[in-house]
Amino acid sequence: MLTLVNALKAHVKNGRIIVDQPTDLPEGTELYLVPADDPHDDMDDQERAELEASIDEGLADVDAGNVTDFGDYIASLRARRA
């Protein structure tokens, strides 16, 4: 299952974001917040599970060194067109 590194639970009170638990993030860390109930997210539970499994598979490939340099990949695509 997908693990969110440093995922924080928070809520909004009086227009301010309040983190629900202490954090050990360094001072000045920049965060991007996404509402948990994003109305633009139309995936169902099965689709979300498949996406998370695919992400986990990709991360396992990276950990195992099963990666291709992007520049090499683009060069191989260009070579096919020639």
62 vs 46: CA distance, rounded Å: 25
- pLDDT tens readout for residues 21-31: 888 888 998 88
Structural contact between residues 45 and 36, judged by C-beta atoms closer than 8 angstroms: no
- pLDDT tens readout for residues 17-76: 988 888 888 899 888 887 777 777 788 889 989 998 999 999 999 999 999 999 999 999
What are the extents of the domains in the chain? 10-81
51 vs 57: CA distance, rounded Å: 10
Structural contact between residues 1 and 56, judged by C-beta atoms closer than 8 angstroms: yes
